[in-house]
Chains A and B, each alone.
Chain A
């Protein structure tokens, strides 16, 4: 912290009205095993530093990996010069310190002392389980894992000191199922803050390899209107677009289909959406955002009604709201941007089995290709793989079809929200059913 404090002082000495220093230091290890042998090992200790410099309501951002005295001095000088060239923005201010909550339990360095050989053995076993899962699994693209330990220091001249450590573990598998000349990838990964929160190897394999066996050899169905059941395999196809649409900056600029709709029932009352950055051990949990604003659990959609947007400090000031603690930097060299954390559609009371049983003509979507929900106009369109459901029965795998709907049909047409959510990634989704979407084939 001494080092970051020193840089903050340098900014103030150089004439800044206010300033902020952000530093990120990481330890990373990633391994890939293919065909029973280690194929890649990557090891690194990346890190870097960023400064925001404010003077006369003008601001600039600078980042560097070169932490020598000379270079840092140069950075401060450059940032000051750059700030002078920008236009004044009275809303661009740094936040004040807030109340930081309980320990979120997001740091686990217990893997640090485990020998690399043991980690390789874990992956060899994971790959073998996947290859032995079924006779149709005939090729491996590998099993992999990564572990990242991060230390963040954020200081600003208003007195914010946000310093914390976090860990991030990923494990993934990628094999190929082949049937009658058709191939389908059995692949996916899961994430956790604690290694022990990852699914056991058998369950990772079961989750992703069984899907390939269900979907291999899919064929198109005839086009027309279908009930579409999105499964927890495909959160990003909806949550990416929804995240951009709920971004307070996009709402203010009008680049969101939810702009100006606060208080409106834009969706069926079954829809509830949260962005919860303080979920204990949550994949994207953190005590504070990357401007130092304390994290919170934001309810964004309640019973189909839009209740709020995500804000950083500047956008909140402009909207006359409070920051939701949603300013996130992808890396040390990135500007803070409004971004969701543990972002999900809240589970409902419906049961997936019941949804399938009462489905006359529908498709259960287990894999998607493409963006999905468009945040600007709310239209949904994507290519999908799934299972055809006819009169309550799963009939056959479906491939090479698109599903689409406009915003109204998509959100007002939510007919079921099930109880089967899992939190294996930053974005999560329980099984949800949309009553009517257009299938193109």
Chain B
């Protein structure tokens, strides 16, 4: 069900007054409709005092991060809404940074005295003993890569539930072999305010929508699960741009198709990756090694290789936190650095790394807007945002037709990488054999392993059909990301771990 825009706005407007909202959200929405800073947290004098306290034992800079999140979620399982959740979280994180060192402390809520105590705790990290300087504040404005037409908090729960219900039905109706359709719906509004001793003051609001559809199909005791995930930093108008029912059918199609799967082959073979979340291979296999902290610790195989050829000429790898409304987009990162497009590898040559303030300083580079954190409970570290392989000139049909035998990977689950060895692994969800240039049987039960650097140099065909896939990335803390790629072939370097 795609909602007609006028109907949609009418239905949401009608209910917004009576919607069950938290005071936090109400205050954010009052006034201009979206004016941040209405809710009382810390005033400028208090912030200045905390920043000063953070530098009382020395340090390069101190920082105050104020966050408030109001969230709503529903889980639909076995045909009914199994769960409805609302939540509010508020907190302040105070950081003192010196060289590679971080002192960090956080509190729940916005209490000034507690925040001062946190600043005292974070100041512990610094040993120089020389009082650091606090610059006078200068307010900055966010870039506006994230737009909101209809705030998620303005939309009645029943509207959200209807959407989920119709998608669930579409998944069920896809085939009698579909046994379960589970849908998780989550949205939130996050308000951030960042201040540091260099004078930075910046704040904004970021919405997030996240829907996960899992479909189980079963036939003669064989079970498979298909999955589709949709997400954006956007207002509720997101659901005008995507078709949730179609997504449910796609998940169902994956589950049903894979019931006929044969055991996956094992050994080295060419692998053709479908556009979208397949890009997680680049994220894991290459991206993590290009994060500034791995580089300055010498724990990345890409350390010290700027300007060197690390990939085939076809490879241009980009991390772009300014992609409008994408799940990995940040108007500014969690240290206040504006989002931007960073070319990491250009035509096979390593161009740069992804930095937060600390890694940029240590490696003598400019911050790239990659300092991210899960919440006020974490200090920022270099993280990816929207990471993708740029389009090439080939055509998907040709790439497949020119592959004598290999594996066509349509969907990967998660994966991980050891940045020390560069070895990665992925679990394959949906894959097919390529035989004589044609996609043939579905195969199941495979994992993919290899080394990032081998994959980079063995990418020998890239199509022009780039898509981003949505996901979540863990590195001690979780952040929303996208990974993307066009159809691409890795000629060799990937080992497929099946049982056949």
Show the binding face of A for B, using Cβ within 8 Å: 34, 37-48, 59-67, 70-71, 74-75, 77-79, 81-83, 85-87, 89, 116, 139, 141, 176, 182-185, 220, 223, 253-255, 257, 333, 335, 369-371, 374, 376-377, 379, 381-383, 399-406, 409, 438-441
Contact = CB atoms under 8 A, between A and B. Distances in A.
Nearest to B293: A141
Interface residues on B, range: 35 or more
Contacts of A82: 20, 84, 86, 157
Contacts of A335: 83, 85
Contacts of A370: 415-416, 425-427, 447, 449
Interface stretch (B313-321, B331-339, B491-499): B491-499
Contact of B297 (A38, A141, A438): A141
B328 to A, nearest CB: 23
B86 A255 contact: no
B138 interface: no
B427 A371 contact: yes
Contacts of A77: 20
Contacts of A405: 499
B170 to A, nearest CB: 19
Given A176-B299, A376-B225, A440 B266 contact: yes
B498 A440 contact: yes
Contacts of B495: 220, 383, 400-402, 440-441
A381 B377 contact: no
B416 A369 contact: yes
Interface string B106-126: 111100000000100110110
A78 B87 CA distance: 10
B101 A38 contact: yes
Contact of A48 (B108, B158, B222): B108
A371 B20 contact: no
What are the 10 tightest A-B residue pairs by CB atom distance, in nearest-first order? Answer: A402-B497, A440-B266, A383-B449, A370-B425, A369-B425, A81-B20, A379-B445, A65-B108, A383-B425, A381-B447
B81 A86 contact: yes
Interface stretch (B88-96, B199-207, B232-240): B88-96
B451 interface: yes
Given A41-B121, A406-B445, A382 B86 contact: no
B342 to A, nearest CB: 25
Contacts of A59: 84
Nearest to A116: B124
A83 B416 CA distance: 39
Nearest to A405: B499
B447 A382 contact: yes
Contacts of A399: 421, 423
A255 B216 contact: yes
Given A402-B447, A406-B263, A379 B499 contact: yes
Given A43-B121, A253-B216, A441 B425 contact: no
Contact of B22 (A74, A183, A376): A74
A381 B498 contact: yes
Contacts of A87: 80-81
Contacts of B348: none
A401 B223 CA distance: 27
Question: Which of B21, B77, B224, B264 has the largest count of A CB atoms less than 10 A from its CB?
Answer: B264
Contact of A369 (B80, B83, B180, B424): B424
A254 B105 contact: no
A377 B429 CA distance: 12
Contacts of A75: 22, 86, 88
Interface string B445-484: 1110111000000000000000000000000000000000
5 contacts: A42-B104, A43-B104, A64-B87, A404-B447, A441-B268
A403 B121 CA distance: 47
A64 to B, nearest CB: 5
A67 B88 CA distance: 10
A21 B336 CA distance: 37
Contacts of A382: 425, 447, 497
B133 interface: no
Given A370-B449, A402-B447, A70 B23 contact: yes
Residue with the greatest number of chain A CB neighbours at <10 A, chosen from B100, B218, B445, B497 = B497
Contacts of A182: 421
A103 to B, nearest CB: 30
Given A369-B449, A400-B451, A402-B449, A333 B266 contact: no
A185 B449 contact: no
B175 interface: no
Contacts of A43: 104-105, 118, 121-122
B413 interface: yes
